[in-house]
Amino acid sequence: MKYIFPILALCLLFVNCKSDIANPTVDPVEQLAEDVKNIDEYLAANNLSAQTTASGLRYVVEDVGRGMPINETASINVLLKGYFLDGTTFDQTAECSPITVFLPDVIPGFSEGIQQFNTWGKGKIFMPSALAFGQSGTANIPANTVLAFDIEIVEQKEFDNTKIKNYIAENNLTKIDSTLSGIYYTISEGGTGEHPSENATVTVAYKGYFTDGSTFDQSEVPISFGLNAVIQGWQEALPLLKKDGSGTFLIPSNLAYGAAGSGSIPSNTMIIFDITLVDFTE
């Protein structure tokens, strides 16, 4: 039962924590001019048309976004790729796993860039080093380094719902039902008797996997636990089965591990379980 119990840990990407070692010999005005020159050369070489802010930040709007405007105190969910101007990637989210970012906690350039878009916006952000990690740098980012980001800002529930529906269509799943909370499921074996309550102790065999088919957890033998001790998605899914019943459940991230993730499950990831209810007691 490695991954279906809730956890409390939360990791934030882009926290603006810098090294105490700085390079005082670099003139900030000269550095900004050099950074802007390098960004503009990159944009020209890649045929990108960017807009500019007073700070020197450049951004490319591919889609401004159909959702709500974003302000400096917002918490957003975003798919991103962070890279240097030479093309080297230093960070990237999984395709189906947006990261939750609280803008007051991130580097200035990322916050300023994100605010040029609405929710569901998509584009690129290019920030001079002073808006990133400056003369200090950080673990995998050298001092005085321009950063670039490809970003797509999503609304998580809609994002998960779309991913689930796409998975159902691509895998030709049939006899699909859904709950009001957003779980989609199909019952492959009806089972016998009554349904367990959400407070039951259940014995189950299960496999948990992602939309790409990779397994993140699986029971070797049936195991028992109280339903009130597991993720909300399981609390809703198991009462849909009867004894010896089986089903496949597609669980949105807010009913799984949310922004925190768990172990090998990234933040904001919808997950899938094949479950057989072996037995239960009330």
30-76 tens-digit pLDDT: 999 999 999 999 999 999 999 999 999 999 999 999 999 999 999 99
Cβ burial of 235 (10 Å; 0-12, 13-18, 19+) is middle
28-154 and 157-281 agree in CATH topology: yes
HSE-up of 223 (CA within 13 Å, CB side)? Answer: 13
Residue 24 binned pLDDT confidence (cut-offs 50, 70, 90): low
Residue 107: closest CA among 88, 79, 82: 82
- The DSSP string of 175-217 is S-EE-TTS-EEEEEE--BSPPPPTT-EEEEEEEEE-TTS-EEE
Q: Per the structure block, which two tokens stand in for 49?
A: 């048309």
pTM attached to this predicted model: 0.87
| Per-domain residue ranges of the chain | 28-154, 157-281
Asked if the model's pLDDT at residue 15 lies above 70, the reply is no
**Cβ partners under 8 Å of residue 112, min gap 6:** 53, 55, 57, 127, 131
The reported pLDDT for the residue numbered 2 is: 35
Mean pLDDT of 12-17: 44
Residue 70: closest CA among 110, 98, 13: 110
* Alpha carbon distances (Å) from 35 to 98, 131, 275: 29, 11, 54
Residue 142 binned pLDDT confidence (cut-offs 50, 70, 90): very high
Q: pLDDT tens digit string along 68-120? A: 999 999 999 999 999 999 999 999 999 899 999 999 999 999 999 999 999 99
CB 126 within 8 A of CB 148: yes
Q: Which CATH architecture has domain 157-281?
A: Roll (3.10)
Largest CA distance in the chain: 77
Residue 26 binned pLDDT confidence (cut-offs 50, 70, 90): confident
Select the CATH number that applies to the domain covering 28-154 from these four: 3.10.50.40, 3.30.420.40, 3.40.190.10, 1.10.10.10.
3.10.50.40
